[in-house]
Structure 1
Amino acid sequence: MSHQRKNNTHAICRRKPAKLKRTLATFNHDELKYLAWNKSPLAAELVRQYLPKRYVQIVLKLLDLSNAAGLFDGEGSITLAKAFRDCGNGFNFRLRVQIPQNCLETLRTFQERVGESGRLGRLKHRDSYTRPIHLLVYDGAHAYNVLKKLRPFLVRKADEADVVFSYFDTAHPGRHFGPGGVPSEIWEIRERCHQALGCLK
């Protein structure tokens, strides 16, 4: 978005709905993302009042995902965790997305907004904890779907998410190669993606 249009959108964010002349139906994609990214207190209200009804739920969902992405950018982590096994190479990689948080309701809200099934539990207490720490974990396909939904709004974790997408596109993590095991060229791709993700931490 150009600097001038960004300033215009910022000014619109600060107007009261009653005085708003321009409807959200005329906003382009970048301007809607800007409204969501800056978490304007008017954003949801503007959507409901001025956007055609057929678009309201779509844009409200985008606002929810943008807020979830902001939390994940700051608190979340993406890993290709080693899953050990008794055959083949002795281990494989499994995608894992997780968020630790001392507010349980925050994690429940995140889970509701992304709409994917995850495991929500409580970490074992340590003397360094002043409050109980909860952990929301997504594995495999659910983790992939979470990243797909959040990717348009990610900043810090954007490159890590792109490595994961490359891993799924080129390393065939869900494919069973039979008794011969994973071909060496595919295994090399998996190793490179694992290393690349580690370098981005």
Structure 2
Amino acid sequence: MRETFGGMKQAAASATALAMTGNQQMEGLAVSPYAAGSHMQRQPQVDEIKSTKCGASTPINAVRVLSPVSRRRIPGEADVGWAAGIMDGEGCIHIARQTYGTTGRRPTYRLRLQITQNDETLLKEFEWSVGVAGRIYSPKPSRKQNKVCHTLNYDGTRAFTVLARLFEHLRRKRPQAALAVEFRDNCDIHRHTGPKGCSEAIWELRQWYYERMRDLKWC
């Protein structure tokens, strides 16, 4: 499992802003199934993030290079550990399944991370800490919900990249993160082959991981 995310980790390394010592790198590689190799180093990253005050979603078309809280440029391991704590306590790791009614089309499965907070600044700080831009959804207040509740979403490849950043620091959500590794490795989820391009066993396995991830949320 430790070598399964080589390609994804290489992409992650080019998108992060963390500096690690050689010893820290080796320690991380020893525990994280997302590790790619000891030659990987984390490089500074400029991510595109745009905040929103109202509306359905946030387009990613502005550059944020400073922490919205500390105004620092480069996050450290403490910032990543803080973000892992937010994911452990407030986040949701799940496999989203999209169905298509009576069309006969197979359902699609993808990894999704979500964090919901009343404080939008906290979500922006999370994005900066992990070095990966997501999408912040901020629904307009209503009579039933007069306080805006913001949700930060990561889907697909970006969700796996965020887990690669956080895995070494996760506690409560680590079993779900490890299951996400298996889901990616065993289910060939990023290869689009059409409704008949995968074997029946693959479709059954994708459904199994969907149900297993859902069960872990109740453990």
TM-score by length of 2: 0.61
Larger Rg: 1
How far 1:189 moved relative to its partner?
Answer: 1.3
Which residue identity lines up with residue 150 of structure 1 in the other structure? L
Unaligned runs of 5+ in 2: 1-22, 29-41, 45-73
One-letter amino acid of the counterpart of residue 84, structure 2? A
Q: Summarize deviations over 1:67-120 as a string: whole Å, max 9, x none.
A: 10001100000111112345642x111111010001111000001111112111
RMSD: 3.0
Q: Structure 1: which amino acid aligns with 2:92?
A: S
8 A contact 1:88–1:181 mirrored in 2: no
C-alpha distance in 1 between matches for 2:80 and 2:142: 32
Q: Which runs of 4+ in 1 moved over 4 A?
A: 126-130
Shift of residue 161, structure 1, vs aligned partner: 0.7
* Cα distance in 2 for residues equivalent to 1:87 and 1:61: 48
Distance in 2 of aligned mates of 1:178 and 1:195: 23
Correspondence 1:102 to 2:118: yes
Percent sequence identity over aligned pairs = 34
The residue that corresponds to 1:62 in the other structure is 77
Count of residue pairs the alignment pairs up: 152
5+ unaligned residues in a row in structure 1: which ranges? 1-27, 34-54
Q: Which has the higher contact order (CA 8 A, sep 6+)?
A: 2
Within a 5 Å distance, the mapping from 1:21-170 to structure 2 comes to 61-85=76-100, 86=103, 88-89=105-106, 91-125=107-141, 129=145, 131-170=147-186
Higher helix share: 1
SS in 1 for 2:76: helix
Match of 1:45 in 2: none
Aligned equivalents of 1:198 and 1:178: distance in 2?
A: 26
Change (3 A) 1:103 1:175: same
TM-score (norm 1): 0.66
Map Cα deviations across residues 144-200 of structure 1 (whole Å, 9 max, x no partner). Answer: 111111111111110011111100011000112346232111112111111110111
CA distance change for structure 1 residues 127 and 78 in 2, over 3 Å: closer, same or farther? farther
The answer to whether the 8 A contact 1:97-1:138 is kept is yes
Partner of 2:208: 192
